[in-house]
Amino acid sequence: MQNTGLYANPFALMMDPQAVIAAMERSERLNHLQSRICRPLDKPLIPHINGDTNAFDQEVDSAPDLENDIIGAD
């Protein structure tokens, strides 16, 4: 029962990491969590946009700058 007070302190848990790992492996709540492995080199799940993005970029670049119009109105 003395270990219960010791393990309530997160800094004391760092002194006995094997006990923490064993408790995590026995935990029913942790075992029922859903998990997914993510790898940094996985392809993104963002759908590919069909269309000419260069035309859109040129349209945005050629549009007048609204900030300059608002400042010039004063």
Per-residue pLDDT at 1 exceeds 60: no
| Residue predicted with more confidence, 24 or 2 | 24
Q: How far apart, in whole angstroms, are the C-alpha atoms of residue 18 and residue 31?
A: 18
pLDDT digits (tens, 9 = 90+) for 16-56: 888 888 988 999 998 898 888 777 776 666 666 666 777 87
Give the 3-state secondary structure of 34-48.
Answer: CCCCCCCCCCCCCCC
pLDDT digits (tens, 9 = 90+) for 55-70: 878 888 888 877 655 5
Report pTM: 0.35
